[in-house]
């Protein structure tokens, strides 16, 4: 081999070594995954703050008027929100609340109050997320916006999401959702989510649908609907992928899920208290994109979710659109000193 070729080879090896060193800076091999695809951060704890806006369209319609339309983009419940989060090892917690001056029905008001709390525990093969969402001052509309309720409804939802990751050796669910790991090479995985939940929608004892539109030909025995309370569960298969770009710290992580499950809708109308068992249909799309560094990380998140619950003849549909910006800072591990006890 000539001297020129030898020098060129040394330069190429050196350049590659530097690039790899930059790519894995601040990380260490994952203990229970393929480290050529997934590495963990040396600083495994972090704090974060996020800000965003969201819109919700909640429809209480009747199948006697035709099929529901989930494609409309009129969001009658909108608000900005701010939140904070913390990660300690494998446990993640996030808290957010709406900001004053929420906009709904094209008017500037502050009546929509929203509070969200979630706690997640993510392992290599499975992830668990418990959540609570409480919204006050909600507006319900007809399918064609022929009516809109007073902004006095209260929606409460609580649930537990259990997600199985099938390609856990190469695809990092934590890198996709929380940026607590680093995806080294592009990889994806089939996902399966099971979500038991409880939902409560109602007001202060008044009918949800305004009186001129709350008629027996339209809603039958569900005229005068006061509330709808539903325990149930959804099974949602889907797919997620983490796209990485060479040795950069940039990433794009989409996840899509869709499924169905039973709900036990208990409601009160002018005819009394009734329980109706029906199937619910849900779809969910998430896109995270940003920078995942060893000290700081940031992302833009886009979420779209839709649900459909036919109670016969009434139905509920919900479409949600959210976009937010998050910035996080990694912290060193917290070491607790152990003190031995000696004999006196």
- For position 324, which CATH number holds? 2.40.128
Position 11 in a domain: no
- For 296, the token pair is 């700081």
- Interval 233-247: pLDDT, tens: 999 999 999 999 988
Position 117 in a domain: yes
Structural domain for 197, as ranges: 28-331
Position 20 in a domain: no
- Interval 28-67: pLDDT, tens: 998 899 999 999 999 989 999 999 998 888 999 899 888 8
Provide DSSP, 254-286.
EEEEEEEEEEEEEEEETTEEEEEEEEEEEEEEE
What residue spans of the chain are helical by DSSP H? 3-23, 173-177, 216-219
Rounded percentage of the chain residues whose pLDDT exceeds 90: 60
pLDDT at 261: 97
pTM of the model: 0.86
Number of domains in the chain: 1
- For 88, the token pair is 């300690």
**Residue 313, preceding bond cis, omega within 30 degrees?**
yes
Position 256 in a domain: yes
For the cut 60, the answer to whether the pLDDT of residue 14 exceeds it is no
How far is the C-alpha of 156 from the C-alpha of 138, rounded, in Å? Answer: 11
Position 14 in a domain: no
How far is the C-alpha of 147 from the C-alpha of 141, rounded, in Å? Answer: 5
Position 340 in a domain: no
For the cut 90, the answer to whether the pLDDT of residue 1 exceeds it is no
- Interval 214-233: pLDDT, tens: 899 889 888 999 999 999 99
Position 1 in a domain: no
Position 18 in a domain: no
């Amino acid at each position: 081999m000539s001297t020129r070729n030898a020098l060129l080879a040394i330069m190429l090896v050196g350049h590659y070594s530097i690039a790899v060193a930059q790519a894995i800076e601040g990380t260490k091999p994952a203990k229970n995954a393929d480290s050529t695809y997934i590495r963990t951060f040396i600083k495994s704890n972090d704090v974060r703050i996020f800000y965003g806006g969201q819109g919700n369209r909640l429809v209480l319609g009747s199948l006697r008027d035709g099929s529901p339309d989930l494609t409309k983009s009129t969001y009658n419940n909108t608000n900005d929100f701010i939140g904070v989060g913390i990660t300690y090892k494998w446990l993640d917690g996030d808290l957010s609340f709406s900001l004053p001056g929420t906009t709904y029905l094209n008017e500037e008001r502050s009546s929509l109050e929203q509070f969200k709390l979630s706690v997640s525990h993510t392992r290599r093969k499975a992830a668990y997320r418990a959540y609570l969402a409480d919204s006050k001052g909600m507006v319900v509309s007809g399918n064609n916006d022929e009516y809109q309720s007073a902004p006095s409804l209260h929606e409460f939802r609580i649930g537990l999401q259990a997600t199985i990751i099938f390609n856990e050796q190469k695809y990092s669910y934590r890198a996709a959702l929380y940026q607590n790991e680093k995806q080294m090479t592009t990889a994806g995985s089939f996902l399966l989510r099971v979500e038991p939940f409880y939902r409560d929608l109602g007001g202060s004892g008044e009918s949800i649908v305004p009186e001129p539109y709350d008629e027996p030909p339209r809603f039958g025995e569900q005229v005068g609907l006061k509330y709808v309370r539903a325990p149930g569960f959804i099974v949602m298969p889907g797919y997620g992928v983490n796209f990485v770009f060479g040795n950069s710290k940039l990433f794009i992580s989409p996840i899509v899920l869709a499924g169905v499950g039973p709900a036990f809708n208990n409601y009160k109308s002018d005819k009394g208290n009734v329980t109706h068992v029906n199937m619910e249909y849900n779809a969910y799309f998430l896109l995270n994109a940003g920078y995942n560094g060893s000290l700081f990380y940031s992302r833009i998140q886009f979420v779209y979710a839709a649900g459909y619950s036919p109670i016969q003849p009434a139905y509920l549909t919900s479409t949600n659109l959210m976009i937010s910006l998050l910035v996080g800072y990694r912290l060193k591990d917290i070491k607790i000193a152990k003190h031995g006890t000696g004999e006196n």
